[in-house]
Copies of this chain bind each other. A is one copy, B any other.
Amino acid sequence: MALSTQHIYEPLTEEKAVALAIKLNLFAEDAVLACREIGDGNLNLVFHVTDESNKGVIIKQALPYAKVVGESWPLSLHRAKIESDALKQFAQSVPQYVPEVYYTDETLAVTVMEDLSHLQIARAGLIQGKSYPLLAKHVGEFLANILFYTSDFALDPQEKKELVKQFTNPDLCKITEDLVFTDPFFDHDTNDFEEGLQEDVEALWADFQVKLEAAKLKKKFLTNSDALIHGDLHTGSIFADEYTTKIIDPEFAFYGPIGFDLGQFIANLLLNALSRNEEEREELFIQAEETWNVFSDTFTKLWEKDSLEVYTNVDGYLEYVLKTTWRDAVGFAGCEVIRRTIGLAHIADLDGIADEEKRLAAKHHALRLGKALLLNQQSITPDILHEIIKVTA
């Protein structure tokens, strides 16, 4: 489909979004459409187009800059293509866990996709104390499928190398390289933390062991092209309700280390746990452990069923891959916990704690947790995450 009449990029208005929806025949001919821009506005415009019966579509358009630091940080529009290509790639193995893509326009950096507004962003729900009984199972299955089926275990290595090229994503990777792996570990002007954390943060910057582990993890992020990863799988990139889970926003997708998404997701569960009273945390630890268990079981089944790699029959190889994946995930979780506490991009789980004393206590705890994850990658197992939270309290 090539329906665009545009040959140059320009930001859509609500009127133009509606016109595009009509042109694409996504609604009945006589439908009366309404449109609202609902993006958080950092990197993208998001138009929600609906008819009278409230049937809707989402029209997402990339902006050529990152608003989060003003218009001075230019960002490649190519990320819109990365996002829609990644959604389509993921849909090959797990269509149930991603929004359907109806249309993409590279020039306009536009993706038209399934409306998920009947669901809630998981972060928002978790902050409200909601339970998502299937979230861990779904995320574990999602990750096992997308990571296995885009890896050299399941693809001809030549085909995989073409995908590595297709998903080369330097602009968005740089954001992660800087904001997750680098700036929070140095006295850098992108950092943003409360005054009460100053002493802890300075201790972190002076901790060469912590920095050495962060350096090794950054190196993995820069050089390991294991599989097509989501690249930004925090709880704000997930729509959910009691029965359904949909992973959105893979504009950071690229061929990266297999443990990264797991680490980011689990870190965000743990950060939500830190925002709660002790007696309400258990559920999050169970979710984190279950995510790993489902991932590990599903990955094992796919490995046994669909591997093209002859070495997958060798005793110990699967165990090696799973063990190193978990170990890296723990390390990546450590980086995520730290950067969400003192880096540029915070999370409402912690920042939203109204009581200053409690908020600062949670953030102090997060810094100790992040450090413990970084320094104990070899020994932390999925079943003792709640212990790590306790000993770092």
Contacts and interface: CB of A to CB of B under 8 A. Distances in A.
A214 B314 CA distance: 10
A41 interface: no
B225 A223 contact: yes
Given A186-B310, A225-B225, A310-B182, A212 B161 contact: no
A173 interface: yes
Contacts of A223: 152, 224-226
Contact of A212 (B157, B168, B224, B317): B317
B161 A173 contact: yes
A208 interface: yes
A208 B311 contact: no
A320 interface: yes
A32 interface: no
**Number of copies of this chain in the oligomer?**
2
A157 B174 contact: yes
Contact of A165 (B158, B160, B168): B168
Interface in A153-203: 157-158, 160-162, 164-165, 168, 170-171, 173-174, 177, 182, 186
Contacts of A384: none
Contact of A314 (B177, B211, B314): B211
B157 A164 contact: no
Contacts of A224: 223-225
Contacts of A123: none
Interface string A313-337: 0111100110000000000000000
A348 interface: no
A160 B157 CA distance: 21
Residue of A164, A171, A174, A321 with most chain B CB atoms under a 10 A cut-off: A164
Interface string A197-239: 0000000000010011011101100111110000000000000
A157 B221 CA distance: 11
A75 to B, nearest CB: 12
A378 to B, nearest CB: 14
A311 B214 contact: yes
B171 A158 contact: yes
B311 A211 contact: yes
Contact of A215 (B170, B182, B211, B317): B317
Contacts of A321: 219
Given A212-B314, A314-B215, A315-B212, A170 B158 contact: yes
Given A315-B212, A317-B215, A168 B157 contact: no
Interface in A283-326: 310-311, 314-317, 320-321
Nearest to A222: B152
Nearest 4 pairs of A and B residues by beta carbon: A215-B311, A158-B170, A161-B170, A211-B314
Interface of A: 152, 157-158, 160-162, 164-165, 168, 170-171, 173-174, 177, 182, 186, 208, 211-212, 214-216, 218-219, 222-226, 310-311, 314-317, 320-321
7 contacts: A157-B170, A157-B174, A157-B222, A158-B170, A161-B168, A216-B320, A223-B226
Given A157-B177, A182-B310, A219-B321, 12 more contacts: A158-B173, A158-B174, A160-B222, A161-B168, A161-B170, A165-B168, A182-B311, A186-B310, A212-B314, A212-B315, A215-B314, A224-B225
